[in-house]
Amino acid sequence: MAETKNVTDEIFDSLKKNGFLPIPVQEINSDAETVRYFGGDFAEFIEAAKALNAKAIFVETLYLEDDEFYYESGVEDDDNGCCCCKDNGEVVEDKSEEGKEAPIWLDPEDLDGMDLTLLKPELEKYDERVGDECGVRLTIPGADHLQVEIFTDWYDDFAGLVDEASDEIELDPKAALKKMQEAVKEN
């Protein structure tokens, strides 16, 4: 039986074939360094590395983490206003028939931490992959680090489902919350 290589081994081999010394790293502190995110694919990244006269490339193995199953709006809590005010301070009221019972004002960030499997049950099949290698982050060191992330096919599928669930929340947080509540009742 042929040995199955993981994505990190495949990338290491390819980097070596292209004349680079792959340097495994655990984490690069992007808060302390200027990072440029490369917009192309792996082959184009190699071309860029050669054009930049890179001698080595940092390789960080990425793993599926359990927090990726939960919604993250990306909005920081600022506590500068109430949850029912628009940016200009105007109170937003729900005038729908549903809203007349008990007005609820929701923004996507109000649903931070919600379990996305309640919106996309298909995500549950990936739960067994938590801790599995899902990709690599390659970085060309320098004054401005150049990075690209390469993911496995299964992780791309997982990320697509997470994006769909997140879009559902961002398009209509109230409907998404109702759907999640119904999913909880069914279980």
Is 54 part of any domain?
yes
Is 13 part of any domain?
no
Is 99 part of any domain?
yes
Tens digit of each residue's pLDDT (9 = 90 or more) over 17-68: 988 877 766 555 556 666 778 877 898 899 889 888 899 999 999 999 999 9
Nearest 10 degrees: CA dihedral of 176, 178, 180, 181? Answer: 160
Is 10 part of any domain?
no
Residue 10 reports pLDDT greater than 50: yes
Quick one: which of 134, 123, 178, 130 has its CA closest to 156?
134
How many domains does one find in the chain?
1
Contact predicate 146/40, CB 8 Å: no
When pLDDT is averaged across residues 60-83 and rounded to a whole number, the result is: 77
Is 146 part of any domain?
yes
Tens digit of each residue's pLDDT (9 = 90 or more) over 129-176: 999 999 999 999 887 788 899 999 999 999 999 999 999 988 888 888
Output the pLDDT for position 141.
87
Output the pLDDT for position 25.
66
CA distance 62 to 25: 11
Query: Where in the sequence is the domain holding 101, given as residue range(s)?
Result: 20-186
Output the pLDDT for position 91.
42
Output the pLDDT for position 180.
86
> 173-186 vs 153-171: helix axis angle to the nearest 10?
110
Residue 6 reports pLDDT greater than 70: yes
Is 2 part of any domain?
no
Is 150 part of any domain?
yes
Quick one: which of 117, 111, 115 has its CA closest to 161?
117
Q: Which residues contact 48 (CB under 8 A, 6 or more apart)?
A: 38, 40, 140, 146
Is 7 part of any domain?
no
